[in-house]
Amino acid sequence: MSLGLPADIDAVVSHINDGADTLDRICSTMYGRAHDVDGQFNDAAGQFSDLIAWDISSASARELQSWQDAGSALTSGAAVLRLWADDIEEYRATRADLHERWESAKRNAQSRVDNPVASAAASGRTGGSSRGLLMLPPTTRRSANPRKSKRSTVSPAV
């Protein structure tokens, strides 16, 4: 018998997070904040960045809006990639937990089938009489009403 869970997701979480980091790095470089992501960089790299830095101070309002839209898209893309990576990890953890619970329940059920007497004793049931499998002869007892001296025949409760 199978649990029937969907297959695992064909994704590498570290690659997804690397992609998100790349988008953040591009956005930071575009806005001139490369040191925010990469930490301190040496003087030669800083001088090189100053030489090729994009100067948008003279850009039109439309160009500035496009610049901001690009930055927003990069930031949003990075955030979505991180959410996706987190969701994949959560899916895998939940899937593994469900699979483990299923296997444990399956082992317990098989154990009860393989050892019915031990299972009954562990659950407080003794043999077949507790389930009505053992038929005992009717017993006689006195009536609960003392005025009636008549004896009644009662079958054991099933």
Map out the domains of the chain as residue ranges.
13-114, 121-154
* Digit-coded pLDDT (tens) for 92-148: 999 999 999 999 999 999 998 988 876 666 666 655 554 555 555 555 555 555 555
Write down the pLDDT at residue 39.
46
Determine contact, residues 130/120, Cβ cutoff 8 Å. yes
State the Cα–Cα distance between residues 66 and 73, nearest whole angstrom: 10
Burial of 78 (0-12, 13-18, 19+ CB in 10 A): buried
Q: Which helix (H) or strand (E) holds 122?
A: helix 116-123
Two tokens, residue 45: 């790299």
* Digit-coded pLDDT (tens) for 56-93: 566 677 877 888 898 999 999 999 999 999 999 999 99
Q: Predicted confidence band at 5 (pLDDT cuts at 50, 70, 90)?
A: confident
